[in-house]
Amino acid sequence: MPQIIQFRYSKKAGFTGMAVLLIFICLLLTTTIRNYNAHDMLGIVIFGVFALLFIAVMGLMIVTRLMPAFKGEVALELDEHGVKDYIRNIILDWKDVEDIGLKPGRSSAMLIFELKFESDFGKTVAVSLRWVEGNENEVYNTVLAYFDEIEGIVREDEISD
């Protein structure tokens, strides 16, 4: 039996997301203050609402992504039964997985699990690696090697980093 492999939440991704949101909030608040000084009530309301919306999103990000990262919580787990994505609360059994792929993206890659049947999530399930700590290729190679070991699959070509 292979050992349980756990990938933690990424602090780096949390800080990056927070920095982007803080920049947007500062820009919106600056515009809101300028509108206030110009006595533009419509501008105050519009930009103020967007600033509050971004503040709410930032609060949500702190609670759902940054706090789990600081607590060292697990984002993705591999065990003998399957893969557990704690970020989106998805559990896939290895016996239901046909193959696993990696789909690169602009901001982060995604693990693509091709299922043997149509599930509630569809025939393919995408698991984002944005909030998972570690190199995306290394995470993919680890998941693929774990899957191959569990299912007894021997691949001819080696996956390179």
- Of 142, 155, 157, 160, nearest to 2 by C-alpha is 142
Query: What's the pLDDT tens digit per position in 16-25?
Result: 989 999 999 9
Euclidean distance between CA atoms 124 and 147, whole angstroms? 16
Query: What's the pLDDT tens digit per position in 59-72?
Result: 999 999 999 999 99
Please tell me the pTM assigned to this model. 0.81
Which residues of the chain fall short of a pLDDT of 70?
A: 1, 157-161
Q: Going along the chain, which residue ranges are E strands?
A: 5-8, 74-78, 82-85, 90-93, 97-103, 110-119, 122-128
User: Which residue, chain included where needed, has tokens 């774990």?
Assistant: 146
- Of 89, 64, 52, 72, nearest to 14 by C-alpha is 64
